[in-house]
């Protein structure tokens, strides 16, 4: 079951969703920014379009990291601590941004990768 590259498929699905989510976040930041800035709480803060642009750009960058992990780092066969720790940080960021689809694809990929890492460590010690 672990030989079928499910983690690669899940990471590619998550990366494509994060590209779409980032583009939507950037685009929705420019819709009706004047109506949002009329509120008193937002009048002295950063404009909502620049905040959404920053978060959307961050989603796109995380999607690019996922593609890089899926297409380059997993091709070598060895799973190092960098890959697992990067995905843990991505899961936490997605959880706090309430990005349920990213969490739902990253957590199974993280579980599969950690099981494969454990298998690698067991075979190297024997």
Angle between helix axes 6-29 and 100-125 (nearest 10 degrees) is 150
**Tokens 């989510």, located at residue:** 21
Residue 109: what pLDDT?
A: 93
**pLDDT tens profile 47-78:** 556 777 888 889 999 999 999 998 888 887 78
**pLDDT tens profile 68-115:** 998 888 887 788 889 999 999 999 999 998 889 999 999 999 999 999
Residue 42, pLDDT above cutoff 70: no
**What is the rounded CA–CA span in Å between residue 86 and residue 95?**
14
Query: What tokens does 28 get?
Result: 């929705």
**What is the rounded CA–CA span in Å between residue 97 and residue 3?**
32
**What is the rounded CA–CA span in Å between residue 17 and residue 103?**
11
Residue 16, pLDDT above cutoff 70: yes
Residue 4: what pLDDT?
A: 74
């Amino acid at each position: 079951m672990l030989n079928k590259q499910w983690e690669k498929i899940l990471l590619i699905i998550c990366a494509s969703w994060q590209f779409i989510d980032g583009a939507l976040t950037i685009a929705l930041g420019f819709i009706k920014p004047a109506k949002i800035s009329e509120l008193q709480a937002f009048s002295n803060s950063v404009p909502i379009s620049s905040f959404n642009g920053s978060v959307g750009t961050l989603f796109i960058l995380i999607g690019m990291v996922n593609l890089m992990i899926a297409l380059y780092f997993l091709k070598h066969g060895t799973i190092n601590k960098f890959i697992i720790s990067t995905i843990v940080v991505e899961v936490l960021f997605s959880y706090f941004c309430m990005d349920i689809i990213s969490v739902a694809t990253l957590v199974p990929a993280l579980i599969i990768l950690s099981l494969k890492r454990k298998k690698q460590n067991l075979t190297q010690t024997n």
